[in-house]
Structure 1
Amino acid sequence: MDRTGTLDVSIDDGLLALVPGYVLGLIAVPAVEVVKGAEAVDALLTDAEDELHRARLGKSDVSALPAIDAWREAYRTVGANPNRFPCAAESLLRRVAKGDRLPRINSLVDLCNGVSLGSRLPVASCDVGDITGELAVRRAHGDERYLPLGAPEAAEHPEPGEVVYADGLGRAHSRRWNWRQSDVIKTDVGHRRLVITVEAVHEGGREDVERALTRLAGALDGLGAERRQPLVLDASVPRAELFAAESAASVN
């Protein structure tokens, strides 16, 4: 694995034409030791779960949250059924709102889950140790190769027009935007090279993404991560180079 190469992340113009309010927040993490559990992260996730339990939201209440309702509309716009394929944040919120607690996976996955619950936004940790060159959020051609999370031997091809994260080698690293992650970019314990993503499509989403990024950056510092300054991509700045020079799109 090349854990030193530059990586360009971009949002395709065609996707932005369909969903012009799409915002993608990023934190490049060149090096971090992912551990099974971290006390501060577990406390953050537990607090987010407790807050959601107190809210007593039903399934329809979760779907009606402004950030989630906007994702449902965006999914419909790109031809995905949000009832069958809810965005990552809606899936987490539904599960916890009914009284469950999330399984503890590791320090980075748990951190992203906690911030996702609190912000109502899709937040993900992506291991990019095997990805250099480019990673684009775009509509699929249909010939990309996707390795399902937990079952990489059962390769799939996304449907043409489906929104995916795709690299320059023709690999798709998500299905239906952020509904599912690929096995290639899952975050395991150990020394990792990561990109943390935060996404929004609702009005005022950039501000919510920036707040989530600030919270993530502070938590990453507490975990001893080597990280870059957060970046935000949208229709005005749809591309950034990670693991290289700082970008003018950075969040102070």
Structure 2
Amino acid sequence: MDSTRPGDRSLAVTVDARLTARVPGYVLGLIAVPTADVAREARATDALLTAAEDRLHAERLGKADVSALPTIAAWRDAYRITGVNPNRFPCAAESVLRRVARGDRLPRINALVDLCNATSLDLRLPVASCDVGDIAGELSVRPADGTETFLPLGAPDRPERPDPGEIVYADSAGRAHSRRWNWRQGDMVRTDVGRHRLLLTAESAHAQGRADVERALGALADALDGLGVKAEPPLVLDRSAPSAVLFG
């Protein structure tokens, strides 16, 4: 039996070549946070999220305008290429942008999730915080084989099986931690209040998306530093550099 605590184990993150063969411009940015005390709220992150919402409200974008944003249009194309209808299953960034564009504000979840939502609104990219304290070995963005187990957010007692070929974040234990790429996050990796080992992600599928991912990572890193959260240096994965070891 492995007596090493999950938080002490390294994690290899990989972008599968089958994915980048179909979506060659896919870029995945990563920030590993070995330990973070996640607060229910923080004045700084609430201010960032409010400011991002206000900027989007001022643009007065309609639903079609959001779908036509270059970063979002590229995700819609990537979803179609990988067999997903983006009208039924919009990427995570399109979902939050649509909600705020119609005049709403996002619910405040906790300081880290609010930070990711603020960055997502500003950069128009999918940005997420994942609790990876129970994941070791490998986490891969890859086509599902259909045998993985996905625990829906808020309903872990109703497990699902991803469709074969569906893009998921999957670990070496056969667990899927997302559905339809970044459309929905799994319950196991949700970020709650308290002390956690986290992986922050920012993704792009549009041309020259690496620069926007790097901007997102820079904004996240600066905000984490302001919150007193110690993180590893940001890393970027793409077709030419598809893997990295974190928490080493």
Tell whether the structures are fold-level matches, with TM greater than 0.5.
yes
- Deviation at 1:117? 0.2
Q: Do residues 226 (structure 1) and 230 (structure 2) align?
A: yes
Give the alignment's TM-score, normalised by structure 2. 0.98
Give CA-to-partner distance per residue, 1:192-218, whole Å, 9 cap, x none. 100000000000100000001000000
How far did 1:3 drift? 1.1
- In structure 1, the residue matched to 2:108 is 104
Deviation at 1:223, TM superposition (A): 1.2
- Partner residue of 1:249? none
Structure 1 residue 169: deviation in Å? 0.3
Shift of residue 4 of structure 1? 1.2
Aligned to 1:159: 163
Please state whether the residue corresponding to 2:146 is helix, strand or coil.
coil
Structure 1 residue 84 and structure 2 residue 92: aligned?
no
* Deviation by residue 1:10-32 (Cα, 9 ceiling, x = unmatched): 00000010000000000000011
For residues 60 and 8 of structure 2, what CA distance do their matches in structure 1 show?
A: 45
Aligned to 1:247: none
Structure 1 position 224, deviation (Å): 1.2
Corresponding letter in the other structure for 2:218: T
**Matched-pair identity in %:** 67
Equivalent residue number for residue 68 of structure 2: 64
Partner of 2:187, secondary structure, is coil
What per-residue deviation string (whole Å, max 9, x for no partner) do you get for residues 51-90 of structure 1?
A: 0000000000000000000000000000000000000000
Structure 1's consecutive aligned runs of 4 or more residues displaced over 2 angstroms after TM superposition are none
Matches within 5 A, 1:192-203: 192-203=196-207
Residue in 2 aligned with 1:238?
Answer: 242
The one-character-per-residue Cα deviations of 1:93-135 (angstroms, maximum 9, x if unpaired) are: 0000000000000000000000000000000000000000000
The whole-number CA distance in structure 1 between the counterparts of 2:31 and 2:71 is 21
Quote how far apart the aligned CAs of 1:38 are: 0.3
- Structure 1 partner of 2:52: 48
**How many pairs does the alignment contain?**
244
CA distance in 1, matches of 2:39, 2:154: 19
The whole-number CA distance in structure 2 between the counterparts of 1:101 and 1:178 is: 21
The range that moved more, 218-227 or 182-191, is 218-227
Tell me the distance in 1 between the aligned counterparts of 2:199 and 2:175: 17
Give the structure 2 partner of residue 250 of structure 1: none
Is 1:207 equivalent to 2:211 in the alignment?
yes
| Unmatched runs of 5 consecutive residues or more in structure 2 | none
Q: CA RMSD in A?
A: 0.5
Question: Given the alignment of the two structures, is residue 141 of structure 1 paired with residue 116 of structure 2, yes or no?
Answer: no
| Aligned positions of 1:24-43 closer than 5 A | 24-43=28-47
- Which position in structure 1 is the counterpart of 2:24? 20
Instruction: Tell me, yes or no, if structure 1 residue 130 matches structure 2 residue 134.
Output: yes
Alignment match, 1:248: none
TM-score normalised to structure 1 length: 0.96
Q: CA deviation at 1:9?
A: 0.2
Give the AA of the match of 2:88.
Answer: R
Query: 1:2: how far off?
Result: 1.5
